[in-house]
Amino acid sequence: MTDSPLARWERRNGTVLAVASLLYLAAYAIRVLANGLPGVLHDLCLAVTFATWAVFLVDYLVRLRLSRQRPLRFLRTHWLDTLVLILPLLRPVRVVQTYEHVQRRRDEPRLSLHARVIAYASLSAALLGFAASLTVYAYEHVAPGASIRTYGDSVWWACTTLSTVGYGDMAPVTPVGRLVAVGLMGCGLALLGAVTGSFSSWMLQVFAREGENPYPPEADRPPGNSPGACDRTD
Amino acid sequence: MTDSPLARWERRNGTVLAVASLLYLAAYAIRVLANGLPGVLHDLCLAVTFATWAVFLVDYLVRLRLSRQRPLRFLRTHWLDTLVLILPLLRPVRVVQTYEHVQRRRDEPRLSLHARVIAYASLSAALLGFAASLTVYAYEHVAPGASIRTYGDSVWWACTTLSTVGYGDMAPVTPVGRLVAVGLMGCGLALLGAVTGSFSSWMLQVFAREGENPYPPEADRPPGNSPGACDRTD
Amino acid sequence: MTDSPLARWERRNGTVLAVASLLYLAAYAIRVLANGLPGVLHDLCLAVTFATWAVFLVDYLVRLRLSRQRPLRFLRTHWLDTLVLILPLLRPVRVVQTYEHVQRRRDEPRLSLHARVIAYASLSAALLGFAASLTVYAYEHVAPGASIRTYGDSVWWACTTLSTVGYGDMAPVTPVGRLVAVGLMGCGLALLGAVTGSFSSWMLQVFAREGENPYPPEADRPPGNSPGACDRTD
Amino acid sequence: MTDSPLARWERRNGTVLAVASLLYLAAYAIRVLANGLPGVLHDLCLAVTFATWAVFLVDYLVRLRLSRQRPLRFLRTHWLDTLVLILPLLRPVRVVQTYEHVQRRRDEPRLSLHARVIAYASLSAALLGFAASLTVYAYEHVAPGASIRTYGDSVWWACTTLSTVGYGDMAPVTPVGRLVAVGLMGCGLALLGAVTGSFSSWMLQVFAREGENPYPPEADRPPGNSPGACDRTD
């Protein structure tokens, strides 16, 4: 239907970009976490980091070209893509989308609307939390007076932050750590709010259907298209 | 209507499994909380633990058989059952469902949709919190430098965590305790989000009906089926 | 319309009960907060406490009688009234309802649905927070090792708890204080969730109407009954 | 259409007031943050503060006059304006509205309903957080035993408070600081609840549309008026 060159490009390169972004995240994780890494491996990770970033840049420029929009307008309508280009650690969030796209082409049974939102938002939040915990660990564990000293501490801190529990036994003290923390709060809480909201709607839906079907756990994969009509109203 | 062998099995064994899961939880609680338990009682609790777990295993295998699905597919479509088999402490969450099923057969007046979601989700959250406080207490109270030293502390910690208040006067310090805490945050917050969301919808509904009926507290048990039609739209 | 003896009783005694419950709260507050109270005033407060509680008891029994229900059934269908009878500090929450009832009789312009839910829920939460801060202060300020030492500390603690921020600089340490805190978390968070949810719906509604009317602040008091039809759908 | 003198006044002076309120905030920020400010500049800031406040007062009185309402009624129907007159730090929240009004006149493409609510509420929350962090810093950094010692600490505190994470490493200790904190919790959380709620609705909408259009990121700027009909129902 919408077979513009841009759409074709995006369809063809989705998987390449997803792999590149996972490579980027992996290389970053190894660089941060591996302490006594031999020089060769460290250089390899650095090379992967730059190579994948170059892939993102090329993709961005090609899409800018194919969209036939003026650069400033493209920058504004695709601000999320621009942000992701500058902060490639946010890139893996896009992986979830590609995975779902691939799965759809294979004609597998798709999840219900609420389940898809929950899966997408919680996976995105988990990837964001992973990237944030890596960056915070990198900046905090060497800072004087820091409470986050091991990577385990950093993961624990990311979990307490994303859930808004915030015990305060671990908290960033460096400016960069706090900046990352504020970003994680902003993005993560919006995503987890979407998870909670969808879960709440989904639960109301399951309980509303329960009258006809006495076994609610069977009801979470509704056949036909009646749920679609229902979903559109909420 | 849906009288497949699987449905018949599930209907017949619901109560047995509910009793078994409560026994499991009770035996676990006694083992964790009773300090100077005589050897015989301790062994009895251990025996109950294994016996009930065996019951869950048998039920799982029978349902796998009756479903006539390939094991891997069954494992994927019944991932919640599989998880509950591996972590039987999550099992009691299913009790709420069985209780409601029993009550329905006795033709008692049923609660409204919102009240049912609130009751189900808050009871599940309470059972999860109980299981989590037991496990966290078991691992934390002997750890050096832990802030959770008595079972009361652990319950207080679970309450502050579930409400996302998170004062931080109590927080787990052991890896297992933190893993349980993350699980409690994930499941508990989704459930309590459903409670809050349903309460909010219910309140809007009560206030919307108030115009016709000047006494809102009488309105929380609506007669007839008009609320059903209303509920389905939200 | 619904002029049963019970409805007439409730209409007639609403104001009396509201005044009694405010008197109860005031007497409790004076007893807790006034330190060097002369014996006569202290006894007067105690007398008011018991007198108002007796009023609640008489009202409960009269309503039980007029409802013509069996006691156990009445206890179950009016469990909120029963709870309020046992814990009269929760009573003032009902005041909001009476105030609105009085206002309606005076034919004043009523607020929109969302505004009413926000007003009711936030006032209830504030009254709950006031009662909780009084009780927590009474039990905590004499406890060894407590962080809540003045009434101001207690109010600050109640605010951080209700907002789920939970800094942890103040937290109850006595069993009774923690029990009250858990109650406040449970009720208060549900009420404030309703406030947030209604505010969110209301904001979407105002912005949706903005297209026709360029000045949104004028739109929060919609004339006619079009918003009513709209409200009922969400 | 609604060309009353009041509407004309509001349309004409919106930009003037927006500029005045930003000036007020800037002057306040400079006074609080600049430590070794020369006397002349300090006096200039003070003069700007009073001049802008006078502008707000004149605007309020003119609108009271043009509305032809009795003062008490005007005070009640425009309570938000009255509050903003007394606490001009809340004034900049109105700027967002003016900006949008200006943009609309320029016939630029408008954002979808959810995007507008998210933009408005999060900008308002950010401006509130900025004003609160300034005031809290002004009162806290000189208080004995305070944890908020630099302006960076104050911003970090405002972020942890708005997200309800509340680590507790920073918390106000002075009465004024705590009062501002409670105000920030009340307003900020309601606004961010609106952000989270709208984001959740928007995500459900994007995923519901995804079936027809395989590239969800393109779907966030829906053409035509179908989304309007959809938005009005939620």
Instruction: Tell whether D164 lies on the interface with B, counting CB pairs under 8 A.
Output: yes
Instruction: Tell whether C183 lies on the interface with B, counting CB pairs under 8 A.
Output: no
Tell me if D186 and C207 make a contact (CB, 8 A cut-off).
no
CATH topology classification for C109-234: Helix Hairpins (1.10.287)
The conformation of residue C229, written as its DSSP 8-state character, comes to: H
Residues in B closer than 8 angstroms to D166, CB to CB, are: 165-166
**CA-based diameter of chain B, in Å?**
65
Q: Which tokens sit at D80?
A: 């938000």
Residues in D closer than 8 angstroms to C168, CB to CB, are: 166, 168
Residues in C closer than 8 angstroms to B217, CB to CB, are: 80-81
Tell me if B7 and A204 make a contact (CB, 8 A cut-off).
no
Q: Model confidence over B200-216: pLDDT tens digits?
A: 888 888 887 765 444 44
Instruction: Tell whether A35 lies on the interface with B, counting CB pairs under 8 A.
Output: no
Residue A131 pLDDT level (bands cut at 50, 70, 90)? very high
Tell me if B204 and C80 make a contact (CB, 8 A cut-off).
no
CA distance B24 to chain A (A): 22
What pLDDT score was predicted for residue C220? 40
Say which residues have a Cβ less than 8 Å from residue D10's Cβ, sequence separation at least 6.
C215, D63
Spatial contact of A145 and A121, defined as CB atoms under 8 Å apart: no
What does the pLDDT average to over D104-113? 61
- Hey, is C211 helix, strand or coil? coil
What does the pLDDT average to over A202-229? 52
Is the predicted pLDDT of residue A172 greater than 90, yes or no?
yes
Lowest-confidence range among A25-34, B79-88, D121-130?
B79-88
What pLDDT score was predicted for residue D135? 93
Instruction: Tell whether C168 lies on the interface with D, counting CB pairs under 8 A.
Output: yes
The conformation of residue D40, written as its DSSP 8-state character, comes to: H
Structural domain spans, chain C: 1-100, 109-234
What pLDDT score was predicted for residue D105? 60
Nearest CA in chain C to A161: C165
Residues in D closer than 8 angstroms to A164, CB to CB, are: 163-165
Q: Model confidence over C37-94: pLDDT tens digits?
A: 777 888 888 899 899 999 889 988 888 888 888 888 888 777 777 888 888 777 777 7
Is the predicted pLDDT of residue C212 greater than 50, yes or no?
no
**Which subunits sit against A, judged by 3+ Cβ pairs under 8 A?**
B, C, D
What pLDDT score was predicted for residue C229? 33
What pLDDT score was predicted for residue C90? 78
Cβ-based burial of A12 (10 A; exposed 0-12, middle 13-18, buried ≥19): exposed
Tell me if A167 and B165 make a contact (CB, 8 A cut-off).
no
Lowest-confidence range among A1-10, A150-159, C210-219?
C210-219
Spatial contact of C132 and C183, defined as CB atoms under 8 Å apart: yes
Q: Looking at this protein, which amino acid is placed at residue C148?
A: I
Tell me if B203 and C185 make a contact (CB, 8 A cut-off).
no
Q: How many CB pairs under 8 A join B and C?
A: 86
Q: Model confidence over C156-171: pLDDT tens digits?
A: 999 999 999 989 899 9
ipTM rounded to 2 decimals: 0.79
Q: Model confidence over B151-202: pLDDT tens digits?
A: 999 999 999 999 999 898 999 999 999 999 999 998 888 888 888 888 888 8
Q: Model confidence over D183-200: pLDDT tens digits?
A: 999 888 888 888 888 888
Q: How many CB pairs under 8 A join C and D?
A: 87
Lowest-confidence range among A213-222, B163-172, C174-183?
A213-222
What pLDDT score was predicted for residue A134? 94
What does the pLDDT average to over B136-142? 92
Residues in D closer than 8 angstroms to B168, CB to CB, are: 167-168
Which of D156, D165, D201, D226 should be substituted to probe chain A, the one whose Cβ sees the most A Cβ atoms within 10 Å?
D165
Stronger pLDDT, C53 or D113, i.e. the higher one:
C53
What's the CA dihedral at C30, C34, C35, C40 to 10 degrees? Answer: -70
What does the pLDDT average to over D101-106? 61
Spatial contact of C74 and C7, defined as CB atoms under 8 Å apart: no
Lowest-confidence range among B95-99, C102-106, C173-177, C219-223?
C219-223
Q: What distance in Å separates the CA atoms of residue D187 and residue D192, rounded to the nearest whole number?
A: 9
Residues in D closer than 8 angstroms to C208, CB to CB, are: 113, 228, 231-232
Q: What distance in Å separates the CA atoms of residue D200 and residue A189, rounded to the nearest whole number?
A: 11
What pLDDT score was predicted for residue D192? 87
Tell me if A168 and C167 make a contact (CB, 8 A cut-off).
yes
Residue D34 pLDDT level (bands cut at 50, 70, 90)? confident
CA distance B4 to chain A (A): 13
What pLDDT score was predicted for residue C129? 93
**Which subunits sit against B, judged by 3+ Cβ pairs under 8 A?**
A, C, D
Tell me if C207 and D175 make a contact (CB, 8 A cut-off).
no
Q: Model confidence over A72-91: pLDDT tens digits?
A: 888 877 777 888 888 877 77
What does the pLDDT average to over C133-150? 92
Tell me if D196 and A197 make a contact (CB, 8 A cut-off).
yes
What pLDDT score was predicted for residue C108? 52
Instruction: Select from 1.10.287.70, 3.30.70.930, 3.40.50.620, 3.40.640.10 the CATH code of B111-234.
Output: 1.10.287.70
Lowest-confidence range among B100-109, B193-202, B222-231?
B222-231
Percent of chain A whose predicted confidence (pLDDT) is above 70: 81
Tell me if D164 and B167 make a contact (CB, 8 A cut-off).
no
Q: Which tokens sit at B17?
A: 């499994």
What pLDDT score was predicted for residue C97? 67
Residues in A closer than 8 angstroms to C164, CB to CB, are: 164
Q: Model confidence over B23-61: pLDDT tens digits?
A: 999 999 988 888 777 788 888 988 998 999 999 899 888
Is the predicted pLDDT of residue B230 greater than 50, yes or no?
no
Stronger pLDDT, A12 or C132, i.e. the higher one:
C132
Instruction: Tell whether B232 lies on the interface with D, counting CB pairs under 8 A.
Output: no
Tell me if B189 and A208 make a contact (CB, 8 A cut-off).
no
Instruction: Tell whether B164 lies on the interface with D, counting CB pairs under 8 A.
Output: yes
CA B195 to chain centre: 13
What does the pLDDT average to over A169-192? 91
Q: State the distance between the two ends of chain B, measured CA to CA, in whole angstroms.
A: 28
- The length of chain C is 234
Tell me if D185 and C197 make a contact (CB, 8 A cut-off).
no
Spatial contact of A17 and A94, defined as CB atoms under 8 Å apart: yes
What pLDDT score was predicted for residue B2? 54
Q: Looking at this protein, which amino acid is placed at residue C127?
A: L
What pLDDT score was predicted for residue C225? 34
Instruction: Tell whether C163 lies on the interface with D, counting CB pairs under 8 A.
Output: yes
What pLDDT score was predicted for residue D211? 53
What pLDDT score was predicted for residue B214? 45
- Mean pLDDT of all residues belonging to chain D: 79
Is the predicted pLDDT of residue A46 greater than 60, yes or no?
yes
Residue B232 pLDDT level (bands cut at 50, 70, 90)? very low
DSSP string for residues in B185-208: HHHHHHHHHHHHHHHHHHHHHHHH
Q: How many CB pairs under 8 A join A and B?
A: 85
Tell me if C80 and B169 make a contact (CB, 8 A cut-off).
no
What pLDDT score was predicted for residue D220? 40
Helices marked H in A34-174 — which ranges? 39-67, 71-77, 79-86, 93-105, 113-140, 151-162
Q: What distance in Å separates the CA atoms of residue C46 and residue D115, rounded to the nearest whole number?
A: 56
CA distance C217 to chain D (A): 9
